[in-house]
Amino acid sequence: MDGSKNGNRYKINPVEIVIFSVVALIFLNSVYSLFNDSTSFNELKLATKDENRQPASYKVLENLMVNCENTHQSIASERIRITGPLCGIEQLSQGNQKFLNTKIVNTANSYSATVFIEENAKKFQTDYIPLATGSNKIKIEHLYSSGVNYTQEIEIIKN
């Protein structure tokens, strides 16, 4: 069949014209904006001073090894990780007492540390504890099944 007899061969669908017109307008708008929008190509100004930057020699994180005594220490870092022995576990190992838990809280900012226990090695380690400026009293409490608690307090002064 020859479409010329019918007359429908080159008939244009109105929906296609609308879609073509919208796409053409978007394209022309993009080309116009590309050449005439000078504000998008201005150079950016960089900040000259950032107060959060620290010199590489300044310690932001520090590890602190403690024993079973109350201590005082001065530190210049922002956060500390505490490691130490499970105090009082030697006396309780003679009976059927079991170690339950260790709680560590920085009373200056009420931060409760996550404590990782190594029962076989009879040690603990914390996540990094944020320090407030000035005096930070850190309370370490070892809990046992007999109800006996061994409490220790460390004072850390952040400079």
Mean pLDDT of 73-88: 90
- Residue 11 has a pLDDT of 81
Distance between CA 139 and CA 106 in Å, rounded?
6
- Residue 87 has a pLDDT of 86
Task: Select the more confidently predicted residue: 76 or 46.
Answer: 76
- Residue 55 has a pLDDT of 61
Closest CA to 67 of 150, 137, 146: 150
Across the beta sheet with 71-75, what order do the strands follow?
Answer: 71-75, 149-158, 134-144, 99-106, 111-112
Write the burial class of residue 138 (CB in 10 Å: 0-12 exposed, 13-18 middle, 19+ buried).
buried
Distance between CA 30 and CA 37 in Å, rounded?
10
Distance between CA 69 and CA 73 in Å, rounded?
13
- Regarding pTM above 0.75, the answer is no
- Residue 36 has a pLDDT of 79
Mean pLDDT of 110-116: 95
pLDDT tens column, 35-48: 876 565 566 666 66
Distance between CA 157 and CA 135 in Å, rounded?
4
Mean pLDDT of 45-52: 63
Residue 35 near residue 119, CB atoms below 8 Å: no
pLDDT at 54 over 70: no
Mean pLDDT of 60-88: 89
In percent, the amount of the chain with pLDDT more than 70 equals 75
